[in-house]
Structure 1
Amino acid sequence: MHVHHSHISHPHKPAGLHDSFRRVLWLGVMLNTAYVLVEAFVGLWLHSLSLVADAGHNLMDVLSLVISLLAFRLLQISPNQQFTYGYRKTTILAALLNAVILLITVGAIGMEAVKRMLHPLAIAGIDVSIVAGCGILINGFTAFLFFRYQHRDLNMKGAFLHMLADALVSVAVVISGLLMAAFGWYWLDPVISFAVLAVILISTWNLLKESLRLSLDGVPRDVDVQALTRRMEQVKGVKNVHHVHVWAMSTLENALTAHVVVDQQLSVAESSRIRHELEAVIRDMHIQHSTFEMETPADACKHGDCCVAAQQTSSSPASP
């Protein structure tokens, strides 16, 4: 029996989903760009490092939203002879770039916060609180827009976390502004800046880890390869599954290749049934694209996989 090689492609994510992503991202860009300009101007005018730090953080978030928009645009470009998968991977690279940009921001603001700790400046606390209060409204509303999409895409999750973190930081800035106005505790300004940096690091760390792993073709976090292999081997007629490789084609789509050892004699109808059942299994495990190389035990031996192919049979209880 010769090797059956099949490539099963499933429908891409609906265009409407990408359109929804773009709409909320554009709205987030416009709202936050306006706020960044106001916050940065007032922060420089009032010599408030906490406002300038938060404006810098918000600016990086705006840039990350723009990068995500570009990535989603590239996602829709059709594959060609040079890029047979298209430009899906740009969504992963965008998420990684966003995380790196935020880490650079942490370093720059941290250095300035240390200087301000040594030489605090008098600040108009009430004005700081008013501007930060506007930030709570804008960032909170933007986070609300992204909330429904955070579990469907890594870039949208990153955007949601950034906006939520910004809203929480704005709450802290409001409180510090009121305390500075009431008690003259101007040292709170750089302290709040450090709090901003801590929030950025916490919200960015998981995004950095996941985007770096996916950019290196690591297994996506929501895919358990061992559980996936076990479920595939439970399909009737499958003796063993090996050489399983899973990677992310984009932040929305995962892919798999695997060698599937089947019984020696299979009809065309039976082979088709097995492939359809395997497709159903991988869809349940968050994988949208797959390539199965169907093998018999003899074929596996030719490829040097005798021990692997026989493992399932030898470990199974003997028939009565």
Structure 2
Amino acid sequence: MDHHHHHNGHHHDHANLKGRNLLISIVLNVVITVAQVIGGVISGSLALLSDALHNFSDVLSLIISYVATKLAKRKASIDRTFGYKRAEILAAFINASTLVVVAIFLMIEAVKRLMEPQEIGSNLVIIMSFIGIVANGLSVLLLKKDSSSNMNMKSAYLHLLTDMMASIAVLIGGILMKFFQIYWVDAVLTMVIGMYLVYMGYDLLKESTKVLMLFTPKSIEVQEIVNSICELEAVKNVHHVHIWQLNEEEIHMEAHIDFMEDIKLSEFDVILEQIEEHVYHRHGINHVNIQPEYDKCDSKNVIVQD
């Protein structure tokens, strides 16, 4: 019957800042990718080429993240009543998926190279990996702040952080190849990078999937909310509850409430305000939609399969 909204301030200014940081990171990663592809081909280093491939996936993921931040700012309309608020979650899902796919591809290539080791131009590998560390390090610093509170930015941040680590691994490999002629280390490092990417990407993939599937947020206890609403004197029963996360800022709740008496609409408004304040301050739910009922014959289960 009613939607109540608690909005965050300075959202648009922050989104503009996120967009700028993403753009700078895109430019840096295009430069690294081109440099590493050239360096990898000339030197024959699989680790450097795999790092370049990962950097290319970074460029794509950063572009997706950038487009998502722009889309998320668009207003709702008649045919898009939620606007594009889910764009950033979708971007996080796509980026996490590509992170895992790229990692598996790298590990397959590393196994092939282990079986057929090749001599590698280590000087070029060292130079290119150092460039990768510096550029990715700058990008990581730019996105670090937003990565803790935004799934989309976390996905972009993870791509860059793992790539910086990959560049460090490639640098170590380059030094070992130059001074000790241990060429198999190139493939071993590629394998380690791949496994780490799978580990990081899977967690984000799982979290973004939960949001897209409308699962109840991990921090929310549905039964606890139902019990607290039932403590209100006028409330007889709370049922047909749905709680889901729309995006990073919004958690929605809808429920049917059975009342003890056939109360007036004005009395319901007072109770509704109490419920809205309670679920917002205790559980962070900022959009509430309640259907009031009196003596209605329907399922009184907390969770009802629609």
- The TM-score normalised by the length of structure 1 is 0.85
1:8 is aligned to 4
Is 1:29 matched up with 2:13?
no
Deviations 1:116-165 (A, max 9, x none): 11111111223322322222222222222222112321111112222222
CA contact under 8 A between 2:100 and 2:202: conserved in structure 1? no
Partner residue, 1:315 = none
- Relative to structure 1, is the Cα distance of residues 278 and 167 closer, same or farther in structure 2, using a 3 angstrom cutoff? same
TM-score w.r.t. the length of structure 2 is 0.88
| Match among 174, 177, 182 for residue 185 of structure 1 | 182
Q: CA deviation at 1:247?
A: 1.8
Determine whether 1:42 maps to 2:39. Answer: yes
Deviations for 1:199-253, whole angstroms, at most 9, x for unmatched residues? 1101100111112222222223343333433444455644443221122223442
1:292 Cα deviation after fit: 1.2
Q: Following TM superposition, by how much is the alpha carbon of 1:47 offset from its aligned partner in structure 2, in angstroms?
A: 0.8
Partner of 1:286: 284
RMSD, aligned α-carbons: 2.3
**Aligned residue runs from structure 1 range 1-320, under 5 A:** 5-11=1-7, 14-234=11-231, 237-264=234-261, 266=263, 270-284=267-281, 285-296=283-294, 298-299=295-296, 302-305=297-300
Gaps of 5+ in 2: none
Comparing 43-52 with 231-240, greater Cα deviation is found at: 231-240
Q: In the superposition, relative to structure 1, how do residues 10 and 172 fare at CA in structure 2: closer, same or farther (>3 Å)? A: same
Q: Is the 8 A contact 2:234 2:261 kept in 1?
A: no
- What letter corresponds to residue 65 of structure 1 in structure 2? L
CA distance in 2, matches of 1:223, 1:65: 31
Residues 47-96 of structure 1 deviation map (CA, whole Å, 9 limit, x = unaligned) = 11111111111211221111111122222222222222222222222222
Change (3 A) 1:24 1:261: farther
Alignment match, 1:317: none
Partner secondary structure for residue 247 of structure 1: strand
CA distance in 2, matches of 1:111, 1:37: 23
Amino acid at match of 1:168: M
Number of corresponding residues: 300
Change (3 A) 1:252 1:47: farther
Q: Taking every aligned residue pair, what percent have the same amino acid on both sides?
A: 31
CA distance in 1, matches of 2:91, 2:231: 38
